[in-house]
Amino acid sequence: MVFKAVEAAKDRFPDLEIREWNLAEHSEVGPRHGVMATPAVVINGRLAFRGVPKEAALLERLEAARNAAGG
């Protein structure tokens, strides 16, 4: 299940790795990251959100990740 805000963010931040994990399909991810609800949003290999983020929060976190990566 892909959320509109996540897909739009992938287009806006092509230099970042943005993934959405559905725990039904990726059961190994939950225990490793303390995620018990679906979806989980991962930015550059790090858990960013447990559940569906608001678009503004997602964009803010992506800007911070881009700045941290030197982008």
Helices then strands, each counted (H, E), the chain: 3, 3
61 close to 46: Cβ distance less than 8 angstroms: no
Q: Residue 38: what pLDDT?
A: 66
Domain that holds residue 38: 4-68
The pLDDT, as a whole number, for residue 67 is: 92
* Domain count of the fold of the chain: 1
Task: Tell me the pLDDT tens digit for each residue of 26-70.
Answer: 777 677 767 766 677 888 888 888 777 888 898 999 999 999 988
How far is Cα 35 from Cα 38, in angstroms, rounded to an integer? Answer: 8
Block residue for tokens 């858990």: 47
CB < 8 Å & 24+ apart, contacts of 18-21: 18/42, 18/43, 18/62, 19/43
Q: What pLDDT is stored for residue 46 in this prediction?
A: 85
Q: Which residue has the higher pLDDT, 71 or 48?
A: 48
